[in-house]
Amino acid sequence: MEEQILIPLSLDDTFKFSCHAGVSCFNECCRDVNQFLTPYDVLRLKQHLKMTSSDFLETYTSRHIGPETGIPVRTLKNRREDGFSCIFMSPEGCRVYDSRPSSCRTYPLARMLSRSRETGKMTVQYGLLVEPHCKGHEENHPQTVREWIASQDIASYDDMNDRMMDIISLKNRLLPGPLDDGQRQLFHMVYYDLDTFRQYLTDNYSCQKLNLSAESWKMIQENDTELLKFGLVWLRHAIFGSFSHQ
Ligand code: SF4
Ligand code: SF4
């Protein structure tokens, strides 16, 4: 197994890196992957491919369950041809480049989020992941971490991923141990199957019942990102109920 190193970096530290079709390792990083998807990754990909969330999940992803938490997780399937490269890899590069998942955007950086048990404050740290197969580090293209984040259009992904992490961290504190079947289904629907969640709300709720203005109700009916933001708050209430303020 090749050795990789992680070099801690601050937002204004500089690193040299460039990835383009001319590098000798082009596509190497997409060849042997187990690509986890966040809820916002799924949202962007299903929009890019103009599919419903259910069809996208069925066609392109596999479902797993966190063994200790019971939290459902989705990963991209691998290509049938070889069984290990990413389903979106092509000789020309990533077929969904404009909507590629957050970890593909962030690479070669890794973004690590932690929350203080005492104050509840979130801290973000970055590291540069250096893997021998990746020749992008040999390109003479310096940039700061801040510049890399801006150039890869990661901010909206980070914002939504942090909201998701907030719920996972709450779950770990308040409900240690695996989720039960009902909780797991709710998690899965809100996290990954947004179009089914929208239908579920329409069938079971009204704006009055959810205490939403007609304008907010219309927004979550029409806008996937607003629906996901609402869903993460709704899920918090549905799973943790009265002690969700902790
Ligand atoms: S989604 Fe695109 S960038 Fe990410 S692993 Fe797959 S092919 Fe590579
Ligand atoms: S330079 Fe690195 S990120 Fe780019 S294709 Fe090569 S292995 Fe992948």
Q: Give the nearest ligand 1 atom to 97 CA.
A: 2
pLDDT at 1: 60
Cα(142) to centroid(ligand 2), Å: 16
Low-confidence ranges of the chain (pLDDT < 70): 1, 242-246
pLDDT at 243: 46
* Ligand showing the shortest atom-to-Cα distance for residue 101: 1
Cα(100) to centroid(ligand 1), Å: 6
Is 198's C-beta closer than 6 angstroms to any atom of ligand 1? Answer: no
pTM: 0.94
Is 79's C-beta closer than 6 angstroms to any atom of ligand 2? Answer: no
Contact call for residues 161 and 103 (beta carbons, < 8 A):
no
Cis peptide before 132 (omega within 30 of 0): no
Look at ligand 1, atom 8, and give the residue with the nearest C-alpha: 30
The tokens describing 82, both together, are 């070889």
Is 104's C-beta closer than 6 angstroms to any atom of ligand 1? Answer: yes
Q: Give the nearest ligand 2 atom to 17 CA.
A: 1
Cα(97) to centroid(ligand 1), Å: 7
Is 51's C-beta closer than 6 angstroms to any atom of ligand 2? Answer: no
pLDDT at 246: 39
pLDDT at 116: 77
* Ligand showing the shortest atom-to-Cα distance for residue 37: 1
